[in-house]
Amino acid sequence: MTDLLLIAPILVSFATAVAAYLARRSRARTRAIGLAGSAVLLAIAVVLLAEVWRLGPIAMQASAWPAPFGITIVADLFSAIMVLIAAIIGFAVTIYSLGDIEPDLEAAGYYGLYHVLIAGVCGAFLTGDLFNLYVWFEVMLMASFGLLVLGGSPAQIDGGIKYVSINLISTVMFLIAVAILYGLTGTLNMADLSVAVAEVEDDGLLTVVAILFVIGFGIKSAVFPLFFWLPASYHTPPVAVSAIFAALLTKVGVYALIRMFTLIFTHDVGFTHGLLLAIAGVTMVTGVLGAAAQNQVRSILSFHIVSQIGYMVMGLALFTPLGMVGSVFYLVHHIIVKANLFLVSGVMNRLAGSFQLGEIGGLWRFKPLVALLFMIPAFSLAGMPPLSGFWAKFVLIRASLSLDTGAGYLIAATALVVGLLTLFSMTKIWGEAFWKPHPAGDHGVAPRLTAGRSALLLAPIIGLAGLTLAIGLYAEPFYQVSLAAAEQLLSNEAYVAAVIGDGAVLAAAGSGR
């Protein structure tokens, strides 16, 4: 049963994709299949997290090939949390898609591509070896490119070309790093690698490989200076697609960085994690300044994805228990908040007629519920108490100050200043879109939504806003789960034992590879 539970998120997502594609000629059927698949995935993800919480890390070996030779699927608390949050967002965006995606895009295979993307995300979170991580990245790349250009507008094609081109560079860097690491260790199983790297005599070459992974995963994470593809593409597709991209795609890159630099590359923490800390700080600043310069809602939100990635990498770079807690907590908070902001932006566009701040306004007077639903994730993104973003930033800043070093004080100051600039960007959207009158007067804001479509668009937004409030008002349980996940990341014996066993760990350590 454990083996089936581990593979179920991937199987259910692929099965849903196939069924939705085969039924695409029937709009009602394909929508029902897409929604049912998302609901089943969410239920499985809840059970998986509960099982990992009860048993500790669990693993399976495909086709009975023992690790490290076969395909390993493994879940610890961190990966189980990520699968669950991906399932929550997947379910919410599926509901939103029912009101957002036009019939021609549904007939072109939207739900099939959507669930292939979710399968790739879950596969990346659950894989136990580097080659299959590459495979899942490619699954995500193909599905995301299909979603990005679905509809075929010139802006989508332009954004899609930029997106694919830079991601292919990331793939090349990743494969080069994988090849060198395999040459050094003779294995690509991540649990086995955590043991094998200790036998590598050339620490300098190992550090070079680590930097190659920083570049490869840094492109996918959109860290400085490798982020330019993101704001060039995320504002072009339908809002539902933007939302799922914003929530999950860069977070898979962050997940990979955290996994690699807690499990494998810990031989020269002063250099590798010091470099990551510098990258985190510059990413925060660059992203928030880019957001401040924009006047299109989705462009502002896209640059804020870049900025907020810096906070997640910051916790990893600090490499302390509290820092890792902050990274895990921040990932969960940000995925929920950022997806919700993109969903709200879609409703704003439908009501006021544009994403350009200069062309919209008056939403507070016409639709106060939408104004409130924007304020919750916007203020959470800026770190205002008592919302989820406040606690996530509080933990990270406290972790940085506890270092009692110049670097710790500098990154804490950077995080605080970036938080203030984030608040500036959010208040700019508020002032322009909600507070000022619409340039066309009262006729500029019109009910362009039927009651049924409005319910489909607002229901997931309300649900995600409620989750943001719940994490903020009842932060302790979420903190404790993040703490347990952080402890497993920093003390990975249970993860390694689940994959290759205690005896195999000892044998690998003494084999002299």
In a domain, 51, yes or no: no
Give the pLDDT confidence of 90-145 residue by residue, as tens digits: 999 999 999 989 888 888 889 999 999 999 999 999 999 999 999 999 999 889 88
In a domain, 91, yes or no: no
> Has residue 29 got a pLDDT over 70?
yes
Q: Which residues contact 417 (CB under 8 A, 6 or more apart)?
A: 285
Unique residue bearing structure tokens 């990258």: 279
In the chain, % helix, strand, coil (3-state, to 5) comes to 80, 5, 20
The DSSP secondary structure of 338-378, one letter per residue, reads HHHHHHHHHHHHHHHS-SBGGG---HHHH-HHHHHHHHHHH
pLDDT score of 506 = 43
pLDDT score of 445 = 62
Looking at residue 331, its amino acid is L
Residue 440 and residue 326: Cα distance in Å, rounded? Answer: 45
Least confident of 163-167, 268-272, 422-426: 163-167
In a domain, 158, yes or no: no
Closest CA to 182 of 197, 198, 168, 169: 197
* Residues above pLDDT 90, as percent of the chain: 61
In a domain, 23, yes or no: no
> Has residue 253 got a pLDDT over 80?
yes
Q: Which residues contact 201 (CB under 8 A, 6 or more apart)?
A: none
Residues spanned by the domain of 409: 268-473
pLDDT score of 446 = 60
In a domain, 291, yes or no: yes
Q: Please compute the mean of the pLDDT values over residues 464-474 and round it to a whole number.
A: 94
Residue 471 and residue 160: Cα distance in Å, rounded? Answer: 35
In a domain, 411, yes or no: yes
In a domain, 256, yes or no: no
The DSSP secondary structure of 163-229, one letter per residue, reads HHHHHHHHHHHHHHHHHHHHHHHS--BHHHHHHHGGG-S-HHHHHHHHHHHHHHHHHHHT-TTS-TT
The per-residue pLDDT of the chain, averaged, comes to 89
> Has residue 326 got a pLDDT over 70?
yes
Least confident of 29-43, 83-97, 232-246, 319-333: 232-246
> Has residue 438 got a pLDDT over 90?
no
Closest CA to 344 of 393, 299, 297: 297
pLDDT score of 509 = 43
Structural domains in the chain (count): 1
Unique residue bearing structure tokens 């908040």: 337
Q: Specify whether the CB–CB gap between 464 and 381 falls below 8 A.
A: no
